[in-house]
Homo-oligomer: A and B are copies of this chain.
Amino acid sequence: MTRITADDIARMANVSRSTISRVVNDYPNVPEETRRRVMEIIQKTGYVPHQQARNLAGVQSRILLLFINNNNDYYADKIAGSTFFGPLTALLIDSANRRGYDIIVTQSSAPHSWERTRHLLFGRVASGAVFVGVANKDPRVRPFYPLPTVILDHKPMKGDPNGPVPSAVNFDNRGGMEWAVRHVLEKNCRKIAYITGNLGIYSGRERLTGFRQAMKRLDGAPLLEELIIQGDFSEQSGYIGAKALMETHQPDAVISGDDECAIGVLRALEELKVSVPGEVSVVGFDDIELSRYVKPSLSTISAPKRDIADKAVERLVDLVEGRQVQSSSIVIPTAFIPRES
């Protein structure tokens, strides 16, 4: 099955290949009659221009790369199965598609993933990339900064975003935490505990910082460092953390680094027959699907995945298409979602 090319179409339509190109690319200067005739032949033959060839000839590839840095202790299915990364991936793809771009997805757990990324990016198959879960100073990403690059969930870098500085897209983690603290204060909680997320991750650190700052700024209850327990965003860490907290300090509020953790907290409290929100208020972060269905339903901070995905892709496309952008940092607002807990 030898491919049918623009030359074939040209021959069939008794015009030159240039005219075919003009029709295909919607050039104005081609008579209606000719255009119609050519289009008809294209339809009938099912001709599709060879993308690689047009790319070579200067057309942008309209392919983006999504690189997900899953730590090696994650199985591949955990990542898209994750209540957060899975939907996020889908939304990024969706946003890109809506803009006429396609997305190649790669995970760092795959063999040679970084080398493959080099080939994809420098080899011009993808014209830009969004990285999630990587540190912006990671020496493996830095080489890509001259290309259109967006980093999700990492500290913004100073510098001209139109130059070799990646754009950072983040939730307003600190602002979100302030909502959480404000909420438990309004419920008259005084012994407010915090179970952190993974502090190796930017949002994990930011949320902790946000918690501390809010406690100080709102000044409605003492900030007790012994009530801050380290977790890792997992349900398990929430469960364990809550058990430990209840045994030692009996807080009247537990704020968690994310919803999964908070759900672990709820499970622990249920086992301990501690009433929520009667004796202890619980607040999560992310507003994952499940948080609506647990009992009691989880009060949380919304981290709208669709927004972050859309902004990330929008920025990347701006960069790819050479539009000037203002700042290297994009912040997605968060909001408090009051529920039973």
Contacts and interface: CB of A to CB of B under 8 A. Distances in A.
Interface of A: 1, 3, 46, 48-53, 55-56, 61, 63, 76-81, 83, 86-91, 93-94, 97-98, 100, 102-107, 109-113, 116, 118-120, 122-125, 143, 146, 289, 305-306
A124 B50 contact: yes
Copies of this protein in the assembly total 2
Given A52-B125, A93-B105, A104-B104, 18 more contacts: A51-B119, A51-B120, A52-B53, A52-B123, A52-B124, A61-B125, A63-B125, A77-B91, A80-B87, A80-B89, A81-B87, A89-B89, A90-B107, A97-B107, A97-B113, A97-B116, A102-B120, A104-B105
B46 A77 contact: no
Nearest to A49: B123
A165 to B, nearest CB: 15
B1 A146 contact: yes
Nearest to A54: B123
Contact of A52 (B61, B83, B102): B61
A76 B94 contact: yes
Nearest to A77: B87
A297 to B, nearest CB: 15
Nearest to A79: B90
A46 B306 CA distance: 36
